[in-house]
Chain A
């Protein structure tokens, strides 16, 4: 190889190397390492900069600006007639895109420029990319605020919140309202209080009827309505030097701040005329015609006694079940389904495993919680047809006088009695009869037999179940809990040995593990699911000593 040729080759090699190293670096550069995470990021701009040659949107840090202007909302927001801030940026409400752009540029930059010397301020003119940064070094930690029963009660019980209706006993009217289509006004309707989301959806929706007096044509989004009400009220009370809720983004939407919100465990029941117990029937109402009634009753499952009061305490909000309104389920979800109910019929609304608002769906989810999953994670969720209907549908009405079934008080009493029976029926097991230490050595090879503290485990499981209303109601008796391990055979104080079903080899067709897999599967999976930190899955000698 001549010297010249050698030189050319090495030059080419160097260029290639450089190219590849650049490629590698640029590849690494695309990974967006988010530095700070904030809950107060507002995005101004369309975000269409990648396609239509616009500048990237601005990631505006609201809390930082609130502090910069010493909490003077009026710096950026107009005040409405009721002295509440309008949460749209000043003058931009009805402006077109280009006017809005000019307003933002003028006011942002002039305010930044106004700041006194020495004070840190935002970007000025000719620093476009400082605000319009396509790859900002911040991420969002914004979290939806769960306005749960505890938080609701703190507002209900607050002296600072005065009712909108003078002289009212409760302050519900301060926030809750209905809309009068005829007079086009909102008004307070006692006993009709509902969740905001029933009317104020994720995005603004059309207002029924013609526009309101002030020209409004839409129902505000939940976000808008919540800020209009919550933040405005907090600001109002802050001005009056009354202790109130947060006005900064982070106060409600910051993860740390949310965790610090004081919760009240023993929340009194909401006053909304809701029933204590409900007899859930497949028919909507019974008429006067006895024959027709008899047919209706015969054509449907036995009703379910539903402990409404108990379920209120088990859920954070009413919307956990009442996803669209506080009406009875059957008013939308009819037995055959209709448009109003989204063609979800009553049976599906109650039984759908995939839905968290259905009975079975919600219960299935709860069964995967730490206390239940030890057993239930290893039990495939049964399909509806494989379930025992009578564990819920057990109110025998066929023998009752029909006349009484139209009487709400009577049906409620009927349901209450069934619920009462259910609670009392939970049969305990004599712990003395439960084997204490069980030595498992049938497959012992490398390790010594395991001395399994059977009674200790049983006791722990029983105690957990005893504290849980759902567990007591559905297990029916403590003995059922034994089936967590002693599965697929009837509940018994003397269940068959594991080895009567599980052998030396795996049964692939039945998906039945061999003995070793069965033992370890149950013990280890249960420990993992229930987060039993004292027994780690790989800590072999914790259960059986080495030979």
Chain B
């Protein structure tokens, strides 16, 4: 595996921080560089101040992509009374806003698409032309892309139960590759859309704003939104008034998620090690405790045994001593008796009294000896 020692250590450090303090920033620092789009990639500038709401773009889109014919024909402008979104049979729709202002929606072909980032089978990817391309053959139908898209663009052919797929604007990639314009751009009678290199379009947009400061909001929608989009917009009224989200920020979805996602493998790898360590430490603690307990028990046992032996010895010595004393007393008594007998023989009255005294002492000594 081509991973340098430095990067590995970096990853480990990041993961260590990540597990404790939230991985986003540090993990992101090692997760790769910012992607600013393929060089010379294409885009479209939609100048909503020029749009007249004729729905020709919807018609062209329908024809180029061989989509189902809608219930109401494209020249029926009553459709504009409702706010619509893209669907499985309409890769682009034009909406009407207050003050007879119109804005077209379709896939914005993000520089760093959230849908491609969310797709785990790479059924969506950013092409070097600038188009975000969908590969039906890889799609598993999870619809994560629909959830991921900040512009609510991808649709799903729910009406096709057997081979459902995601549908969205292709930026007419096949036409672009032939050197032609996307269908909607080509048909627009007002040239409200300009197809060209994204970098040139930004210059064009800036030029229009600078030359007509009163006609435009001083902002190119899509230049930076969600990390930038290939499809960009100009407007004469605030973008929120033509149904465009102004809360998206300028960070692309993959950039937002790259940090935590990059930390996942490391966290996943690190957790077993950490848990095993904790387990081992606990295990060792238990082992040591058991050993200490055993030692203490042994020590107590030894001490008890020693004390018992000592007591026994003391008792034995005492008994031996008492025995000696008793023997000595008996010997003395016997000697005295013998002496008394000898004296009795000489004076019998005195001898009787002495014999009673000796009898009182003897039972005590004999009692102990029995124990």
Contacts and interface: CB of A to CB of B under 8 A. Distances in A.
- Mutual binders A and B: yes
A510 to B, nearest CB: 9
Given A508-B201, A509-B200, A517 B190 contact: yes
B191 A514 contact: yes
B196 A516 contact: no
Contacts of B190: 517, 520-521, 524
A538 B77 contact: yes
Interface residues of A, number: 20
A417 B150 CA distance: 66
B137 interface: no
B48 to A, nearest CB: 14
B211 interface: yes
A513 interface: yes
Nearest to A445: B187
Given A506-B196, A520-B189, A511 B204 contact: yes
B211 A508 contact: no
Contacts of B215: 377
A380 B212 contact: yes
B204 A521 contact: no
Contacts of A516: 189, 191
Contacts of B208: 511
B329 interface: no
Contacts of A524: 52, 189-190
A516 B181 CA distance: 14
A181 B144 CA distance: 79
B141 interface: no
Contacts of A521: 50, 190-191
B243 interface: no
A380 B210 CA distance: 9
A538 B204 CA distance: 26
A538 B53 contact: yes
Given A516-B191, A520-B189, A508 B52 contact: no
B52 A380 contact: no
Contacts of A509: 200, 203-204
A528 B54 CA distance: 14
B170 interface: no
Contacts of B201: 508
B225 to A, nearest CB: 21
B194 interface: yes
B52 A538 contact: yes
B148 to A, nearest CB: 25
Contacts of B204: 508-509, 511
Given A514-B191, A517-B190, A520-B190, A508 B212 contact: no
A447 to B, nearest CB: 10
A107 B197 CA distance: 74
B54 A508 contact: no
Nearest to B207: A511
- Of B196, B201, B212, B214, most buried by chain A (CB within 10 Å of CB) is B214
Interface residues of B, number: 23
B200 to A, nearest CB: 5
A441 interface: no
Nearest to B201: A508
Contacts of B207: 511
Contact of A540 (B54, B191, B200, B211): B54
A496 interface: no
A537 interface: yes
Nearest to A446: B187
B173 to A, nearest CB: 19
A377 B216 CA distance: 12
Contacts of B194: 506, 508
Nearest to B205: A511
Interface string B22-52: 0000000000000000000000000000101
A377 B54 CA distance: 21
A340 B50 CA distance: 45
A380 B54 CA distance: 26
Nearest to A365: B214
Nearest to B208: A511
A537 B200 contact: no
A543 B216 CA distance: 29
Contacts of A377: 215
B191 A506 contact: yes
A532 to B, nearest CB: 14
Contact of B52 (A368, A511, A513, A537): A537
A513 B212 contact: no
Nearest to B213: A381
A525 B196 CA distance: 24
A377 B211 CA distance: 11
Interface in A13-60: none
B220 to A, nearest CB: 14
B191 A538 contact: no
Interface string A398-419: 0000000000000000000000
A363 to B, nearest CB: 14
Interface string A515-547: 011001100110010000000011010000000
A508 B214 CA distance: 21
Contacts of A517: 188-191
Nearest to A383: B211
A517 B189 CA distance: 6
Contacts of B189: 516-517, 520, 524, 540
Contacts of B195: 506
A524 B52 CA distance: 9
Contacts of A538: 52-54, 77
The winner among A509, A514, A538, A540 for most chain B CB atoms within 10 A is A538
B50 A508 contact: no
Task: Specify which of B188, B190, B200, B203 lies most central, judged by the most chain A CB atoms within 10 Å of its CB.
Answer: B190
Contacts of B197: 508
A531 to B, nearest CB: 12
Task: Name, among B189, B196, B197, B215, the residue most crowded by chain A CB atoms within 10 Å (CB to CB).
Answer: B189
27 contacts: A377-B215, A380-B211, A381-B214, A506-B191, A506-B194, A506-B195, A508-B196, A508-B197, A508-B200, A508-B201, A508-B203, A509-B200, A511-B204, A511-B207, A514-B191, A516-B191, A517-B189, A517-B191, A520-B189, A521-B50, A521-B191, A524-B52, A528-B52, A537-B52, A537-B53, A538-B53, A538-B54
Given A537-B52, A537-B53, A538-B52, 4 more contacts: A380-B211, A524-B190, A525-B50, A528-B52
Q: Nearest 10 pairs between A and B by C-beta?
A: A517-B191, A380-B211, A537-B52, A520-B189, A538-B54, A513-B191, A508-B196, A508-B200, A520-B190, A508-B204
Interface of B: 50, 52-54, 77, 188-191, 194-197, 200-201, 203-204, 207-208, 211-212, 214-215
